[in-house]
């Protein structure tokens, strides 16, 4: 196991606290781990810079040795022991909404509940409502949650299948007998959720390839196993099951098969109509002339589209609307290679895992020319948000660091909370000194639409606010976010020249593609940012770009493609 970063260590300490609660340990011991986690969170340094954790206030010798073990080995023998002692069925109960360590501990100790089935039985026998801190309503809620528990969702958010995609792609690259392969279907089109993954494989040895596929070590079910098509369910950590289709074709048919199974169905319908006008028929295997019966094949998709006098139509816009009628220039969509900067990310100064310097180096390595450091502001105490004094100190550090690079610019920034009462977390005199001011909502999600809109509008009308981050607060497959009047948001952004974010985190993709498309139509600029809290989240940029392409975004609409001078001119528009 690799060493843990600060964020992972903090999370593990919190896990230990929860496990101890389940075990029924006394409150002091439990809170020692929570306090240690908070002490680390509050400290601005990375875990290596901190050195000996027992020197920090709030961290005792025992906890310090656990931290050191996590830092060096990426595991804790103490946590491993706890896991042995606690029935594993109890751990799964933690994912039930409203269930924490204390409640589960009580169910375990007082009712002998050890898993979901036991909990259901206890609820049905009306034993749960008599426990202190529970009650009849809670019991009802638990029963409802248990009904949804373990049910497989119809569609998987892409954030959940990305590991599977990487895993399968890696394996196919190692397999023998494959000429080329590509992932088709809804994933290739950049949809937010997928029913299954569709791999198209060019091979002259389908048997050889097929036997390697059915030998994979994480197969849950072989749904079907034909000569040219294999359907599997693959198992991934945390009980995730991903359905996958593999289709094997000869290389001649690869382009048309890839096109067919990329879809969408509606796009395929449009293409077939187009073919009919030429007295031709499209199939997976090629294009057939109705008159001669001759079948032509293509070396790749661009050649296939060219046959119908069409420019290359990117998969992201193949939804069967107007993509065949669109001018070639409007199909020139933003690409990952156009991105010059990531403008929203966090460091150890708030709730990130890496130091400023580490983030800067990582961004430089990605080939960007500039970036912004945007930690949380003071309202967000759980994330150790920066107050005015710390923000100023951070800016000084960034300015100093900036002097070390002649070919790279670090913008100072802040992700400033818009408070529940609609006010902003910082006054203008602070914002004025900050290059890239992001405003976002992280609280009071249940407010009515008018109140939410007033909050967003206050921020957009502030002359120093450059961008609204993740404008709806949704988490794909988990929560809808707060009430936003999208037309009003886009109109105000246009009027105030405020950037709207397309947050590239695969759990967010916020704004969604349909709305960035509308925003672009109204002249609103879009920022695609990873909102990285760790190194690996910086790699989400292409996910955001794909979502942007689904929203037909062109390069110039996306502020991350601008050079730093153009961006700075824009940021100074009201100053």
Q: Residues in the site for Zn ion, rule: CB under 5 A? A: 415, 531
**Of Zn ion, Ca ion, ligand DGT, none, which one does residue 415 interact with (CB within 5 to 8 Å by kind)?**
Zn ion
Check residue 186 for interaction with ligand DGT (CB under 6 A): yes
Residue pair 533/346 in contact (Cβ under 8 Å)? The answer is yes
- Answer for the pair 296, 286: CB distance below 8 angstroms, yes or no: yes
If one asks whether residue 190 binds ligand DGT (CB under 6 A), the answer comes out as: no
Q: Are 236 and 158 in contact (CB under 8 A)?
A: no
3-state secondary structure of 514: helix
264 interface partner picked from Zn ion, ligand DGT, Ca ion, none, CB below 5 to 8 A per type = ligand DGT
CB of 311 to ligand DGT, least distance (A): 21
By CB neighbour count within 10 A (0-12 exposed, 13-18 middle, 19+ buried), where does 211 fall? middle
198 binds Ca ion (CB under 5 A): yes
Segment (H or E) for 180: strand 180-183
Q: Which residue is nearest to ligand DGT (CB)?
A: 263
Q: Does 274 bind ligand DGT (CB under 6 A)?
A: no
- Binding segment toward Ca ion, per CB under 5 A, in 7-15, 191-199, 406-414, 474-482: 191-199
Which of residues 44, 139, 245, 417 is near Ca ion by CB under 5 A? 245
CA distance 503 to 540: 9
Minimum distance from residue 375 beta carbon to Zn ion (Å): 8
Q: Using DSSP, state whether 112 is helix, strand or coil.
A: coil
- Least Å from the CB of residue 141 to ligand DGT: 32
* In the complex, least distance from residue 161 CB atom to Ca ion, rounded to whole angstroms: 10
DSSP code at position 115: S
- 307 belongs to the binding site for ligand DGT (CB under 6 A): no
Taking CB under 6 A as the criterion, the residue among 53, 101, 105, 185 binding ligand DGT is 185
Select 13 or 232, whichever has its Cβ closest to Ca ion: 232
Quick one: 395 or 546, whose CB is closer to ligand DGT? Answer: 546
Residue 552 near residue 330, CB atoms below 8 Å: yes
> Strand 286-289 relative to strand 295-296: parallel, antiparallel, unpaired?
antiparallel
Roughly what angle, to the nearest 10 degrees, separates helices 116-124 and 101-111?
Answer: 70
**Among candidate residues 472, 526, 528, 469, the one with its CA nearest the CA of residue 499:** 526
Q: Does residue number 530 form part of the binding site for ligand DGT (CB under 6 A)?
A: no
User: Which residue stretch of 27-35, 60-68, 239-247, 329-337 sits at the interface with Ca ion (rule: CB under 5 A)?
Assistant: 239-247
Q: Residue 84, class by beta-carbon neighbours within 10 Å (0-12 exposed, 13-18 middle, 19+ buried)?
A: exposed
Q: What is the dihedral of CA 532, 537, 539, 542, to 10 degrees?
A: -70
Min dist CB 477 to ligand DGT, Å, is 13
DSSP strands (E only) in 197-292: 197-202, 219-225, 229-236, 240-249, 280-283, 286-289
Which residue's CB atom is positioned nearest to Zn ion?
531
Selection from Zn ion, ligand DGT, Ca ion, none that 261 binds (CB < 5 to 8 A by kind) is ligand DGT
Shortest distance (Å) from residue 158 CB to ligand DGT: 10
Contact 310, 520 (CB under 8 A): no
* DSSP H or E segment with residue 230: strand 229-236
* Separation CA 403–CA 296 (nearest Å): 60
Contact (CB, 8 A) for 340 and 408:
no
Exposed e or buried b for every residue in 470-483, given b needs 16+ CB within 10 A?
bbbbbbbeeeebbb
Nearer to Ca ion by Cβ, of 77 and 214: the residue is 214
* One of 41, 44, 192, 198 touching ligand DGT (CB under 6 A): 198
- Closer Cβ to ligand DGT, 259 or 525, answer by number: 259
Contact string (CB under 5 A) for Ca ion, positions 485-524, x = contact: ----------------------------------------
Rg (C-alpha) for the chain, rounded Å, is: 27
Q: 34 in helix, strand or coil?
A: helix
Rounded Cα gap, residues 133 and 99, in angstroms: 12
Residues between 249 and 268 that touch ligand DGT (CB under 6 A): 260-261, 263-265, 268
Number of residues that bind ligand DGT (CB under 6 A): 13
Q: Which does 531 bind (CB under 5 to 8 A by kind): Zn ion, Ca ion, ligand DGT, none?
A: Zn ion
| Residues 316 and 190: beta-carbon distance below 8 Å | yes
Which CB sits closer to ligand DGT, 86 or 197? Answer: 197
- 196 sits near Ca ion (criterion: CB under 5 A): yes
Smallest distance, Å, CB 25 to ligand DGT?
45
**194/362 with CB nearer Ca ion:** 194
State the CB neighbour count (10 A cutoff) for residue 143.
Answer: 14
Residue 265 interacting entry, from Ca ion, ligand DGT, Zn ion, none, C-beta within 5 to 8 Å by type: ligand DGT
Question: Of 106 and 376, which has the nearer Cβ to Zn ion?
Answer: 376
CB of 230 to Ca ion, least distance (A): 12
Residues making contact with Ca ion (CB under 5 A): 185-186, 196, 198, 245
Residues making contact with ligand DGT (CB under 6 A): 185-186, 191, 194-196, 198, 260-261, 263-265, 268
């Amino acid at each position: 196991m690799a060493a843990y970063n600060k964020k992972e260590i903090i999370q593990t300490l919190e896990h230990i606290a929860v496990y101890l609660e389940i075990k029924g340990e006394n409150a002091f011991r439990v809170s020692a781990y929570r306090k240690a986690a908070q002490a680390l969170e509050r400290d601005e340094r990375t875990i290596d810079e901190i050195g000996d954790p027992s020197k920090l206030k709030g961290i005792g010798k025992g906890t310090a040795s656990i931290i050191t073990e996590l830092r060096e080995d990426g595991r804790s023998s103490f946590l491993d022991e706890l896991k042995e002692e606690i029935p594993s069925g109890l751990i799964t109960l933690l994912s039930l909404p409203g269930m924490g360590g204390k409640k589960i501990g009580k169910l375990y100790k007082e009712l002998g509940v050890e898993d979901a089935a036991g909990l259901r039985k206890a609820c049905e026998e009306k034993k749960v409502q008599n426990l202190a801190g529970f009650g009849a309503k809670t019991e009802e809620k638990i029963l409802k949650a248990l009904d949804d528990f373990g049910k497989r969702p119809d569609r998987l958010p892409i954030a959940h299948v990305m590991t599977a995609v990487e895993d399968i792609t890696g394996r196919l690259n190692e397999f023998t007998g494959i000429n080329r392969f590509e992932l088709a279907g809804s994933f290739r089109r950049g949809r937010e959720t997928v029913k299954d993954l569709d791999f198209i494989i060019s091979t002259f040895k389908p048997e050889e390839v097929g036997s390697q596929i059915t030998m994979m070590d994480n197969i849950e079910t072989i749904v079907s196993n034909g000569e040219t098509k294999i359907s599997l369910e693959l198992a991934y950590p945390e009980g995730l099951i991903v359905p996958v289709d593999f289709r094997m074709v000869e290389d001649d048919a690869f382009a048309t098969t890839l096109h067919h199974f990329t879809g969408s169905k509606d796009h395929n319908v449009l293409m077939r109509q187009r073919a009919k006008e030429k007295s031709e028929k499209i199939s997976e295997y090629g294009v057939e002339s109705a008159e001669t019966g001759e079948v032509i094949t293509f070396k790749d998709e661009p050649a296939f589209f060219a046959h119908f006098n069409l420019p290359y139509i990117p998969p992201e816009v193949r939804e069967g609307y107007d993509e065949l009628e669109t001018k070639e220039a409007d199909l020139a969509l933003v690409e990952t290679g156009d991105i010059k900067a990531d403008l929203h990310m966090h460091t150890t100064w708030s709730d990130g895992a890496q130091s400023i310097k580490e983030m800067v180096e990582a961004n430089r390595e990605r080939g960007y020319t500039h970036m912004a450091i945007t930690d949380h502001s003071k309202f967000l105490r759980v994330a150790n948000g920066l107050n005015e004094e710390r923000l100023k100190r951070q800016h000084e550090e960034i300015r100093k660091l900036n002097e070390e690079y002649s070919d790279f610019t670090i913008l100072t920034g802040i992700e400033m909370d818009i408070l529940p009462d609609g006010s902003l977390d910082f006054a203008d005199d602070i914002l004025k000194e900050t290059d890239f001011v992001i405003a976002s909502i992280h609280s009071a999600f249940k407010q009515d639409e008018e109140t939410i809109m007033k909050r967003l509008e206050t921020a957009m009308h502030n002359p120093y606010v450059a961008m609204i981050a993740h404008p709806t607060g949704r988490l794909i497959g988990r929560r809808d976010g707060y009430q936003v009047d999208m037309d009003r948001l886009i109109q105000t952004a246009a009027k105030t020249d405020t950037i709207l974010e397309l947050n590239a985190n695969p759990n967010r993709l916020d704004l969604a593609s349909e709305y960035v498309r509308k925003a672009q139509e109204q002249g609103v600029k879009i920022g695609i940012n990873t909102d990285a809290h760790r190194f690996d989240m910086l790699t989400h940029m292409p996910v955001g770009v794909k979502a942007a392409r689904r929203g037909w975004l062109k390069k110039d609409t996306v502020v991350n493609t601008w050079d730093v001078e153009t961006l700075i001119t824009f940021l100074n528009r009201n100053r």
